[in-house]
Amino acid sequence: MRRATWTLSGFGDEVDPNPDTQVAVLQALGASHIEVRSAWGVNVVDLDEEQISRLGKLLEDRGMKVSAIASPIGKVASDSSIEDEVARLEKVIGVTHALGAANIRVFSFYPPPGRSPQSVRDDVLSRMHAMARVAEREGVVLVHENEKAIYGDIPERVLDVVESVGSSALRLAWDNANFVQVGVRPYSDGWALLNPYVDYFQVKDARAQDGAVVPAGTGDGQLRETMIAMRDSGYRGFASLEPHLASAHELGGFSGPVAFGEAARAFRHLADDLEIALS
């Protein structure tokens, strides 16, 4: 069997707020790409034109490409304004084009307090439809992350989102740890359902006992089984490190250079063992 090759990336702001440090650490770990969520402590949706230009020049000068823009789009209540969220998406699309990327991470909205996921389905789908239409027009791909507590946090509802919208501009970013944190066995419960729509792999693991995020292969996220299935199904996309080993919060997480390096080496060891090359 031909050795699979995946493109290694990582959330730069998990390393350090400064993009110079982000790039230096990622390149030292063998990554050719970066996933941009924030720079200088500013989230992508709030970067101004000067900051975007400065970041683009830094990445170009260092020979670093962008695998995705890790936006917070859709990480709001399902009864929030569609117009406001589309406007935020359009801002992020501008950043995406400026940095030469194509993928934008998005979410499928939080049910308001006291509301069940099923009761907000229509609100969620109308918003996801609206965002996909914008993405189609602008030539970008939205990759939906299965974040805990949003509508699409379990495999069945993730499938509902992607199939109901039915757009080539809406695909999936697979996250094993997030599935663990909502009581799902990622490979056993989700892979067969979602495999046809997975275009992006966010690398982190978690323990079922307490939900704590741990290095790849050391938790209950079935990373080995998932990676074997991805390899054997012909996956050749990005593998983006998102370790969350020091802290996590609503808009992201942090690891620091040392813990990020530990996470990267754990993932590379697993990949080597499965004959998956990381470039």
**Per-residue pLDDT tens for 38-50?**
999 999 999 999 9
Burial of 76 (0-12, 13-18, 19+ CB in 10 A): middle
How is the chain split into domains, by residue range?
4-278
**Per-residue pLDDT tens for 48-78?**
999 999 999 999 999 999 999 999 999 999 9
Q: 4-278 maps to which CATH number?
A: 3.20.20.150
d(CA 243, CA 264): 8
**Per-residue pLDDT tens for 224-269?**
999 999 999 999 999 999 986 664 445 455 667 888 999 999 999 9
| Nearest partner of 172 among 202, 127, 151, judged by Cα | 202
pTM of the model: 0.95
